[in-house]
């Protein structure tokens, strides 16, 4: 298999995939439909509500502000707006263009894992890792990519032969999202799928 076997973001809400656009969801809440409402008892819920504001969902500016204030980046440079946009589009399973509660929770746990991963490579805490360390990180996450693919990823996400934390996260987000798009269609897990042109663009342009 060419990609990790762990459950990706695409599997986080199986109910959602069964709901067509015309169907009325029970317990409708912005960004949180099709699932039982256990958000109220969740310690993150009020934090999410505060960040999301009136529309009940988190957009890229709200996300950037919240991640910066929460100090998720630690000693590293705070996330750029572009990386926040990528995070949202990657998790936007219900196509609202913004981040709902479950999507937000999923992001926070992924971010913590990626940060830990980055820190293990950035031993001198310079805020950057070497290209070959990005290779190792990608392999350590379970992706099996050939050297040419790894090279093109490194080229895309490095600046002056270094990879910054922000770009590293953008890379992880995109790799995971595109892998999920592919995997959802690769039902036989054969490592190849057929895409119609429109389908391909719809799946990849949004990310
Ligand atoms: Ca909002
Ligand atoms: Ca959403």
35 has a pLDDT exceeding 90: no
Distances (CA, A) of 171 to 1, 49, 57, 150, 155: 21, 28, 24, 11, 11
pTM: 0.76
Q: Would residue 99 count as lying in a domain?
A: yes
Neighbours of 49 (CB within 10 A): 13
pLDDT digits (tens, 9 = 90+) for 158-171: 999 999 999 999 99
pLDDT digits (tens, 9 = 90+) for 54-103: 999 999 999 999 999 888 777 788 899 999 999 998 888 888 999 999 99
SS3 149: helix
pLDDT at 31 (0 to 100): 36
Q: What percent of the chain has pLDDT over 70?
A: 81
CATH of the domain at 195: 1.10.238.10
Q: Which ligand is nearest to the CA of 95?
A: 2
pLDDT confidence of 193, banded at 50, 70, 90? very high
Pairwise CA distance, residues 93 & 13, whole Å: 8
Q: Would residue 29 count as lying in a domain?
A: no
pLDDT confidence of 13, banded at 50, 70, 90? very low
Distance 91 CA to ligand 1 centre (A): 15
| Per-residue b or e along 122-139, where b marks 16 or more CB atoms closer than 10 Å to that residue's CB | beeeebbbebebbbbbbe
15 has a pLDDT exceeding 50: no
Residue 179, token pair as written in the block: 């892998």
Q: Which ligand is nearest to the CA of 93?
A: 2
Q: Which ligand is nearest to the CA of 97?
A: 2
User: What residues make up the domain containing 71?
Assistant: 40-205
Distance 69 CA to ligand 2 centre (A): 22
pLDDT at 3 (0 to 100): 53
Number of compact structural domains in the chain: 1
Q: Would residue 83 count as lying in a domain?
A: yes
Distance 59 CA to ligand 1 centre (A): 5
Q: Would residue 22 count as lying in a domain?
A: no
Q: Would residue 127 count as lying in a domain?
A: yes
Distance 195 CA to ligand 2 centre (A): 24
């Amino acid at each position: 298999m060419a990609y990790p076997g762990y459950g990706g973001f695409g599997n986080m809400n199986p109910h959602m995939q069964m709901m067509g656009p015309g169907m009325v969801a029970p317990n409708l809440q912005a960004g949180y439909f099709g699932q039982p409402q256990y958000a109220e008892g969740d310690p993150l819920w009020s934090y999410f509500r505060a960040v999301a504001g009136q529309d009940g969902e988190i957009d890229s500016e709200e996300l950037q502000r919240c991640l910066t204030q929460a100090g998720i980046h630690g000693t590293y440079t705070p996330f750029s707006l572009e990386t926040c946009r990528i995070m949202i589009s990657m998790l936007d399973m219900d196509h609202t263009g913004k981040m709902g509660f479950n999507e937000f929770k999923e992001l926070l746990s992924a971010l913590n894992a990626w940060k830990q991963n980055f820190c293990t490579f950035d031993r001198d805490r310079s805020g950057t890792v070497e290209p070959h360390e990005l290779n190792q990180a990608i392999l350590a996450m379970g992706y099996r990519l050939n050297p040419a693919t790894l090279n093109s990823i490194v080229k895309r996400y490095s600046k002056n032969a270094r990879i910054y934390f922000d770009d590293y996260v953008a890379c992880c987000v995109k790799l995971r999202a595109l892998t999920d798009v592919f995997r959802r269609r690769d039902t036989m897990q054969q490592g190849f799928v057929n895409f119609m042109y429109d389908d391909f663009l719809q799946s990849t342009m949004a990310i």
